[in-house]
């Protein structure tokens, strides 16, 4: 059994926990303080509001713990606001990021809340089954470093990336009924751990 955390400061925590709990061999855990990361092999930074979450990360002393968790070769997946927080650079912002993932992102790249939308597509690296891709005031990945691979792009827009230890998605697999994407994350953790 592998323990996987969901950073539980703000945002879509329950949805990620619910998806992880549907996967065999996974123990999902809400992470409210840095010491709770100790027995985790993976972590999800959920969607929500990145400015608020950044403040809480600072307030609860998570910055060093998250960087350390990454350096110890654990897997981290950031979805939406989580992706923004992991990015090396956020367009137009000078605030401190976690700087885990060598990408540049643009926040709210698809317009206002009214411009939230759902698409259906196959992400071949993840599964041959069609997935629902839910975008809510989603960020766009504008630039990627040489160590970053594109996991999914559409119409020249990069919407998901990965490295050996990181995954970032603009969309929200936790808001669909499918656990395909969470399974991909769990498999990545298990492959590294074994
Ligand atoms: N627009 C939000 C932000 O910039 C992210 C939206 C989301 O996580 N669904 O933080």
Residue 110 pLDDT: 85
Distance CA 169, CA 54 (A): 18
Strands 26-31 and 117-122: unpaired
Q: In angstroms, how far apart are the furthest CA atoms of the chain?
A: 44
* Separation of CA 158 and ligand 1 centre (Å): 16
What's residue 96's pLDDT? 75
Q: Residues 108-142: pLDDT tens digits? A: 998 765 578 999 999 999 999 999 999 999 999 99
Read off φ and ψ for residue 122, nearest 5 degrees.
-100, 135
The pTM assigned to this predicted structure is: 0.96
CA angle 24, 16, 67 (to 5 degrees): 100
Retrieve residue 83's tokens: 């992706």
Q: Is 67 helix (H, G, I), strand (E, B) or coil?
A: helix
Q: Please tell me the predicted confidence (pLDDT) of residue 95.
A: 76
20 lines ligand 1 (CB under 6 A): no
Domains and CATH numbers, the chain: 2-193 (3.40.50.880)
In angstroms, what CA-CA distances link 47 with 72, 108, 114, 159?
24, 12, 17, 14
Nearest atom (ligand 1) to Cα of 47: 8
How much is the pLDDT for 94? 81
List 16, 19, 70, 172, catalytic entry? 172
Q: Which residue, 158, 25, 141, is CA-closest to 83?
A: 141
What tokens appear for 82 in the block?
């989580």
Instruction: Tell me the average confidence (pLDDT) per consecutive run of 10 residues in the chain, 194 residues long.
Output: 97 98 98 98 97 95 97 97 97 86 94 80 97 95 98 96 98 97 97 79
- Determine the pLDDT at residue 30: 98
**Residue (of 76, 105, 108, 100) closest to 89 by Cα position:** 105
- The answer to whether 174 is a known catalytic residue is yes
């Amino acid at each position: 059994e592998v323990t996987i955390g969901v950073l539980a400061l703000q945002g879509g925590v329950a949805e990620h926990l619910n998806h992880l709990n549907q996967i065999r061999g996974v123990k999902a855990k809400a992470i409210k303080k840095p010491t709770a990361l100790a027995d985790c092999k993976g972590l999800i930074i959920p969607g929500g509001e990145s400015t608020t979450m950044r403040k809480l990360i600072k307030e609860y002393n998570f910055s060093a713990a998250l960087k350390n968790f990454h350096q110890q070769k654990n897997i981290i997946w950031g979805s939406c606001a989580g992706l923004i927080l992991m990015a090396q650079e956020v367009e137009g912002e000078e605030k401190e990021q976690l700087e885990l993932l060598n990408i540049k992102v643009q926040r709210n790249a698809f317009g206002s809340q009214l411009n939230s939308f759902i698409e259906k597509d196959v992400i071949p690296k993840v599964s041959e089954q069609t997935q629902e891709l839910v975008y809510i005031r989603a960020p766009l990945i504008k630039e990627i470093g040489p160590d970053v691979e594109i996991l999914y792009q559409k119409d020249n827009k990069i919407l998901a990336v990965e490295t050996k230890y990181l995954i970032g998605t603009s969309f929200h697999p936790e808001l669909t009924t499918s656990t395909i994407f969470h399974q991909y994350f769990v498999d990545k953790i298990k492959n590294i751990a074994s």
